[in-house]
Structure 1
Amino acid sequence: MAIISDHTRKNITGDSFLKGTFILALAGIVVKVIGSLNWIFVSRVLGGEGIGLYQMAFPIYLLALSISSAGIPVAISIITAEKLAVKDIFGAKRVFRISLTLLAITGLLFSLLTYFGAGLLVEYKFIRDPRAYYSVAALAPAIFFVTILSSYRGYLQGWQRMTPTAVSQIAEQIFRVVTMIVFATLLMPKGLEFAAGGASLGAFAGSVAGLAVLIYYYWRLEAEIKQQTGPLACPVSVEPVGGIMKRIFKLALPVSASSIMLPLVANLDLLIVPARLEAAGYSVEQATELFGYLTGMAVPLINLATILTASLATSLVPAIAEAQARGDRLTVFQRTAAAMRIANLITLPAFMLIFLLDAPISQMIYNAPNAGPAIGVMSTAIVLLGIHQVTTGVLQGLGHTAIPVINMGLAAVVKVLLNWTLTAMPELGIKGAAWATVADIGVAAVMNMYFVNKFVGYHFVLADITKTLAATLVMGAAVYAAYDEMLLLLGSNTFAALIAIVTGIVVYGLVLLFTGGVNERDISRIPVAGPVLLKILHSAGRLK
């Protein structure tokens, strides 16, 4: 078996665990900021009803995309990391080539099925509003390109190179946003359904741009491998294609089910929520608008608040897999503990900010204060979603890929039951659907934590959580007071909300420093910005 040396492997493999997380988080922030600005413009062009049409098509796109990729990108990441841990570069490259071929076939198949099946979805009332047909048809071509794109991301992440993913995400978002705004505006005179379809074309433009970036980084990696290792002969023994496929599917099928679960639940929402809102007394148009508030406004805000935890989960998969392949249990525990601690430090204050400023933030971003109630309820899911994301990454890295999907399946049953019951209550309406989503995430998170404790031995440290909670409560009081005072003083919701958010962040950081919730070691471990922040704090006398 041809191998690479430890020195060569360390030179070629890219980012450390925390550095990779920082890179992905930074890219995630840029992507979300661009996306948030996009939704401001698109929401103003399409309105709640147009956003509802777009969101009725999007779960179908996600479902087709998840089935077409079949969890293979995560499997690529895991297997590549394992191969590199034992210095088998040929095995890693062979896995990528085989999986890329498979994904190209499945991506093309599901892209065609989605395009030609859009009419049937409307005909059989799977989509209750026939105007959403154009959005489904416009999203179909993107499935092929996103599927190919995901295979490149999985391979590069297996090398623990997160920069390609980060850059491709930014390029993908820029092209998607520009396309959405331009075509939604141009097609609005033809009708709302055509404008929503035009906005859906953004997924195609973004996927092509993101794929081009990843191909560039892939060829750069190939060049570096040749430079570090020189001309490499073929390995003496080649692992059979059947053996590789068996290993891929063993990891991919549970991950696939986990990936499919999210769009599947979203499609169940599409079937249940609008219908149950109608049962509560709302018209079809009103139900569509409320559905847009929840899925097109509240959910993106929650995802924005969990950028870092999503990045942690992505970085954890190859990092945990590599340590597990080397039998290094201590490193597995340390990486898990670091990720969970960072998750709590981020998600608790994010929850408080959105919970207290639900309507002001909704007014500021979407010009839709009526989305505030759904956003307020959904804010309680931020902490739970962070825990769920990180624990899923840990379990997948350990090779227990079936556990998260089983937990998500059980949680989805709870959500369906609550959706059916709570959404039809006139006094709850769309808030009932939001509470059902919170319960869904919460049940999955708690079950994941049980298994992480079982396999890793990790559990929450009460002292750390207490300090974080205390800082969050003080921050909440500061935010509440700052918003009211600034609103009276300035008379502007936007400026009042922004000042309140900045005030809250500053207060939260200071309380953590004074109570020992974060220390010098924590700050020093922040990539790039850590040393600079340490110098500032030392100069200010905040650290000894």
Structure 2
Amino acid sequence: MSEQQLIRGTVILTASVFISKILGLIYVFPFTAIVGTKGMALYTYGYLPYTIMLSLSTLGVPLAVSKFVSKYNALGDYRTGQRLLKSGIVVMLITGIIAFLALFSLAEPIANQVVDPTDLKGNSYEDVIFAVRMVSVALLIVPVMAIIRGYFQGHQSMGPTAVSQVIEQIVRIVFILLFAFLILNVWNGELGTAVGIATFGAFVGALGGLAVLLIYWKKRGPSLKKQIDESTVEQKLPLRSMYKELLTYAIPLSIVGLAIPLYQLVDMVTFNQAMQALGYDMNVVETYYGAFSQTTHKLIQIPVALGTAMSLTIIPTVTNAFINEEHDRLQRTITQTYQIILFLTVPAAIGLTVLAEPVYGALFGLADLAEGAEVLRSYAWIAVAFAIFAVTAAILQGINRQKWAVIALLAGLAFKILSNTLLISWFEVHGAILATGIGYIIAIAINIWAIKKYANYDYTFVFKRFLLVCLFTGMMAIVVGFLQYGLMQLLPINTRMDALIILAVTVLSGIVVYLNLGIRSGLAGQILGERFKFLNK
């Protein structure tokens, strides 16, 4: 496979991931309007354990299968990949059933951990159990989808994965919004019922994604069969050897992919109790938790998605340069990756910090504006850490040192586990945010060290660029902050439209200031000029 094809495939996948994340953000606005932050907290109680169980049941299968199938296809052995697919579907069905039964059975212990059955002010014990059990059904289908996607990717066919991901997300979102609205506003149902049925949207969305994959399979089946019939080699690997090789690829990918859900899991099992210990009412606690775990978290994923989608398209070049021992090209590519992620995420994160109040008010309404803006202002900077960790972990994968990314994740997570309750007792909701931030900084430091050591990378130039990005971001923040202050004197945020007007004017001004500084200095052209030619002018 040529480098150009490899990059094209990565672009397709990253574009689909970006679209899925944007869709995943957009639906949060109407869903929050329907169920409120209390409902969002309940949704998290169900969906977060599902996310972790899904990762454990699939173990990074799509990428691992892709790598395995691609390797043997390159040797002219198409039968080995097909054998893996056939046996893998059976294995994924079994792991999916086990994961479903495990999560269904764990619903009560999870509910016991996150809510007090005797507390009538927050979400009820029964509602949490219902939400967990409804979302668990999706585990019967999604692992099977994972191996089919990986098989297509191994044949350098990225379209099935990309299209199925987007369709899965669209079907899920339509189901969630439609039934949440109908249950609460048409059928006068309970909040717990509406949110529980909404979590079932994961299963309905999975059906949509699987249908897309089966359509692709029917369409491309004859050509795949022809390749298999024309195989020039057959390794005849025993299944044990095949799965041993597959797991060496899959486990590091799976663990690193669990980074954010694992951090959120620590918060799910400790946040409510720690905040109640400080004397907060459960309604207030769940308002903060809903803002922290869902609404503001979705917002900070925008710069993360944009930055990583653009920078990760470079990762195949890192792998190619490393394998071919092209040291200078490897250094340039890593430098370009860092520059893109910093140039895009730093100003976006600081912008969210400065504009926390109009951002939250415009997108989520004024009901919980004080709490939501407070959390967003404290949380936004971690977007940079999320993005840098994802990119540095991918670079380590590219240079075949992914074990260091796993070590980094475990070190940061250990800090989060040990410090979360203590920091919450000191700084309330900001303590949980601080524990996440410091944990990620620890992980990033280890990744950066490993890249320096094993890629022999010099960070001097990137550090200078980081300082320049910070300078431009600071100038942008000053302009935006003064403009926001002046507008809020003339137009206090009393309605959602007030917040939207302030947000539109300040964001546009911030973009103009930052891009103007970037273009005039030549920084924007040097970093993104190959993608956007006008930045070179």
- Relative to the length of structure 2, the TM-score reads 0.86
1:123-522 to 2 correspondences below 5 Å: 124-125=112-113, 128=116, 129-130=124-125, 131-159=127-155, 161-188=157-184, 189-217=188-216, 232-233=230-231, 235-260=233-258, 262-311=260-309, 315=313, 320-321=318-319, 324=322, 332-367=330-365, 368-369=368-369, 370-425=371-426, 428-460=427-459, 461=461, 462-488=463-489, 492-519=498-525, 522=528
Deviations 1:37-92 (A, max 9, x none): 31111111111111111111222111211110123333223334544666655555
Aligned to 1:108: 97
Alpha-carbon distance change, 405 to 127 in structure 1, aligned in 2, over 3 angstroms: farther
Confirm or deny that 1:55 pairs with 2:44: yes
In the TM superposition, what is the alpha-carbon distance from 1:371 to its structure 2 partner?
A: 0.9
CA distance in 1, matches of 2:208, 2:420: 38
Alpha-carbon distance change, 62 to 317 in structure 1, aligned in 2, over 3 angstroms: farther
Alpha-carbon distance change, 53 to 390 in structure 1, aligned in 2, over 3 angstroms: same
Confirm or deny that 1:37 pairs with 2:26: yes
CA distance in 1, matches of 2:414, 2:166: 35
Deviations 1:389-411 (A, max 9, x none): 01111222333333222211111
CA distance in 2, matches of 1:127, 1:316: 44
Alpha-carbon distance change, 237 to 405 in structure 1, aligned in 2, over 3 angstroms: closer
Alpha-carbon distance change, 305 to 438 in structure 1, aligned in 2, over 3 angstroms: same
What percent identity do the matched residue pairs reach?
Answer: 23
CA distance in 2, matches of 1:505, 1:106: 47
The amino acid that maps onto 1:72 is V
SS in 1 for 2:523: coil
CA distance in 2, matches of 1:517, 1:443: 29
Could you tell which deviates more after superposition, 158-167 or 189-198? Answer: 158-167
Aligned to 2:121: none
The amino acid that maps onto 1:374 is V
In the TM superposition, what is the alpha-carbon distance from 1:500 to its structure 2 partner?
A: 1.3
In the TM superposition, what is the alpha-carbon distance from 1:209 to its structure 2 partner?
A: 1.6
In the TM superposition, what is the alpha-carbon distance from 1:36 to its structure 2 partner?
A: 2.8
Residues 82 and 325 in structure 1, CA contact (< 8 A), matched pair in contact too = no
The amino acid that maps onto 1:258 is V
Could you tell which deviates more after superposition, 181-190 or 269-278? Answer: 181-190
Deviations 1:514-540 (A, max 9, x none): 11213268422x2xxx3xx43xx6xxx
CA distance in 2, matches of 1:521, 1:447: 25
In the TM superposition, what is the alpha-carbon distance from 1:502 to its structure 2 partner?
A: 2.1
Could you tell which deviates more after superposition, 211-220 or 41-50? Answer: 211-220
Aligned to 1:4: none
CA distance in 2, matches of 1:379, 1:44: 22
Deviations 1:266-309 (A, max 9, x none): 22211111100001111222222211110011211122220034
CA distance in 2, matches of 1:217, 1:351: 39
Could you tell which deviates more after superposition, 460-469 or 356-365? Answer: 460-469
The amino acid that maps onto 1:78 is K
Could you tell which deviates more after superposition, 406-415 or 469-478? Answer: 469-478
Alpha-carbon distance change, 237 to 61 in structure 1, aligned in 2, over 3 angstroms: closer
SS in 1 for 2:391: helix
In the TM superposition, what is the alpha-carbon distance from 1:220 to its structure 2 partner?
A: 5.3
Alpha-carbon distance change, 193 to 518 in structure 1, aligned in 2, over 3 angstroms: same
Aligned-pair Cα RMSD in Å: 3.0
Deviations 1:173-208 (A, max 9, x none): 211111111221223333121111022122112222
Alpha-carbon distance change, 332 to 166 in structure 1, aligned in 2, over 3 angstroms: farther
SS in 1 for 2:230: coil
Alpha-carbon distance change, 108 to 251 in structure 1, aligned in 2, over 3 angstroms: same
In the TM superposition, what is the alpha-carbon distance from 1:376 to its structure 2 partner?
A: 1.3
Confirm or deny that 1:69 pairs with 2:64: no
Could you tell which deviates more after superposition, 511-520 or 23-32? Answer: 23-32
In the TM superposition, what is the alpha-carbon distance from 1:215 to its structure 2 partner?
A: 3.9
Alpha-carbon distance change, 155 to 334 in structure 1, aligned in 2, over 3 angstroms: farther
CA distance in 2, matches of 1:136, 1:485: 46
Residues 14 and 162 in structure 1, CA contact (< 8 A), matched pair in contact too = no
Deviations 1:497-518 (A, max 9, x none): 1221122122222211111213
CA distance in 2, matches of 1:94, 1:324: 31
Alpha-carbon distance change, 412 to 364 in structure 1, aligned in 2, over 3 angstroms: same
In the TM superposition, what is the alpha-carbon distance from 1:330 to its structure 2 partner?
A: 5.4
CA distance in 1, matches of 2:380, 2:318: 29
The amino acid that maps onto 2:106 is G
The amino acid that maps onto 1:402 is K
The amino acid that maps onto 2:131 is S
Aligned to 1:5: none
Alpha-carbon distance change, 248 to 512 in structure 1, aligned in 2, over 3 angstroms: same
Structure 2: which 5+ residue stretches go unaligned? 117-123, 493-497
CA distance in 2, matches of 1:146, 1:329: 40
CA distance in 1, matches of 2:313, 2:85: 19
Task: Number of aligned residue pairs: give it.
Answer: 516
